[in-house]
Amino acid sequence: MSPHSFFRSTSFRLLAWYVAVFGASVAILLFIVYWITLAALDEQLSDSVEREAQVLVELYRGRGLDSVVRAIQLRVVELRPPRRYYLLQDAAGMRISGNLPPMKPTEGEMALPVSYLFPDRRSKPDDPADAYPVVAQGRRLDNGEFLLVGENRYRAVKAQEAILHALVWGIAITVLLAAGGGAVLGAGFLRRIEEVNRTTRSIMDGDLSQRVPTRGGGDEMDHLAINLNAMLDRIQVLMKSLKQVSDDIAHDLRTPLSRLRHGLEAARQKAGSDAEPVIEQSIAELDAILETFSALLRIAQIEAGARRAAFSDVSLGQIVSTVSEAYAPVAEDRSQRLETVIDRTLSVHGDRELLTQMVANLIENPIRHCPAGVGITVELRQEGGRPVLCVADTGPGIPASERDKVFRRFYRLEASRTTPGSGLGLALVKAVADLHGAAVELSDNHPGLRVTVRFHAASDGGARTYPARDAPGVTRDATPQRVDQVHWL
């Protein structure tokens, strides 16, 4: 499967949805852990500051103010982060000790911005370790002094950064693992689907013996494969029965009709001149019936894919040229203009006899249905490395609503029911085109109808070209013969 097809597949959409849901779930979980951890760190910081303040208060009550001053002086010389901040000021607001400027006494927990930590109120400290806000605890002492103990949020911020990095990496790894696991599961699922697609393509190509492989695991795909294979077995039996009935009918009817024709031939030789026109008409009608049965058998044989084994590289340019030259006198007898624009070097991989029949039917169709004076153009060209055959006319055309129906067997437009034929011509064209992997398109020629057959390239992957005299399957000295009688299908 190509990357473009994979991105448009149901497996990829399920994978994307799975990754999105799983990634979002993990992200929500990690964010919850992140906020809980931050709250715990902040609470731990507040408890640490409160304990330090309580230690100094107990020291003041037990040993006096000088002991507190000496304790603060020992603590402020510690330069390792996280930084501790202290302020001890007297009742008049004069600083006694510490590394903070005097402030208005405020009891309880407070947060000090970075700019408050320095006497000059600068917003950016010289030491990066001081660039963090401070969580502080203020206490009034017994003789009116004020004690402030604080610690910056260095530890909490660093923990926050580490958690954020871990969160991002966790989400990324989760998404990658989910995508990898989903891709592995999706690839296995797509392989099973591709096995089904490959089998159905083979069946559409005419090989009704193909079956969807099973792996014996008893999973849902195995159950689906078993059901599909059972359905295909039933369809194959029905198709064989239908084909056998059709072949038997065609053969069984053609045999007595052939005997009847031989009998009429013998009667014509013995009958007088009065009976000869009636016998001639009967023989012509029998020939049309026999030709209809032959066409039905040919279509059944084509649709069964039995002729594909005889494929070879044949010159499509020579086939179109030979058939066009053979039908030119027929068009001239009906006062119609048959013009050709043919690239004789183009070839396709296929059955020469069936391609000749297809081209003949395409040219016969406008000759039969178009009135005198119309122009018929047969063109064979190369588009995008592939041969394209166009047969266009300036006749009445086919209404757009009827174009899909004319490929059905025995289907005829109301305007053509008075003309000879059985409605199998375009059905045979479609069957031959499908056998060769070609597409048949009907479009408006303004006025008239344009029939376009777009072939696949030759077996080497490109539109193979040959010199006209060296085209395969064509005798150099072959001369097209005039078609004196057309058996309308």
Instruction: Check whether residue 148 and residue 295 sit in a common domain.
Output: no
Reference 253, options 292, 204, 195, 226; nearest CA is 292
Pair (26, 143) in one structural domain = yes
What pLDDT, on the 0 to 100 scale, is given for residue 111? 86
Residues 53 and 149: beta-carbon distance below 8 Å: yes
Give φ, ψ of 444 to 5 degrees: -80, 135
Domain hosting 232: range is 220-303
pLDDT tens readout for residues 399-426: 887 777 777 766 666 555 555 556 677 8
On whether both 343 and 277 belong to a single domain, the answer is no
375 and 454 belong to one structural domain: yes
Q: Are residues 151 and 44 in the same domain?
A: yes
**Total residue count of the chain as it appears in this document:** 489
In a domain, 32, yes or no: yes
Could you give the CA distance from residue 36 to residue 233 in angstroms, rounded to a whole number? 63
CATH (domain of 416): 3.30.565.10
Asked whether residue 478 is assigned to any structural domain, the reply reads no
> Where does a domain end: 303, 320, 342?
303
What is the predicted pLDDT for the residue at 137? 92
Asked if residue 147 and residue 46 are part of one domain, the reply reads yes
Give strand ranges (E) for 327-426. Answer: 337-342, 347-350, 375-383, 386-393
pLDDT < 70 regions, the chain: 1-12, 78-82, 117-130, 206, 242-243, 245-257, 268-276, 278, 285-310, 409-423, 457-489
Angle between helices 220-270 and 154-204 (to 10 degrees): 20
Q: Which of 263, 279, 303 is at the close of a domain?
A: 303
Judge if 336 and 438 occupy the same domain: yes
324 with 465, same domain: the answer is: yes
Looking at the structure, do residues 139 and 251 belong to the same domain, yes or no? no
| Within-domain flag for 6 | no
Residue 390 forms part of a structural domain:
yes
Phi-psi region of 315 (alpha: psi -120 to 50; beta: other; left: phi over 0): beta
Whether 289 and 238 map to the same domain: the answer is yes
Q: Which domain CATH number covers 269?
A: 1.10.287.130
What number of CA atoms fall less than 13 Å from residue 299's CA on the CB side? 22
Q: Are residues 275 and 338 in the same domain?
A: no
What pLDDT score does 422 carry? 61
C-alpha dihedral, 253 to 254 to 255 to 257, nearest 10°: 90
Total count of domains within the chain: 3
Identity of the residue numbered 466: Y
- CA proximity to 466, closest of 313, 310, 320, 311: 313
Q: How far apart are CA 448 and CA 441, in angstroms?
A: 14
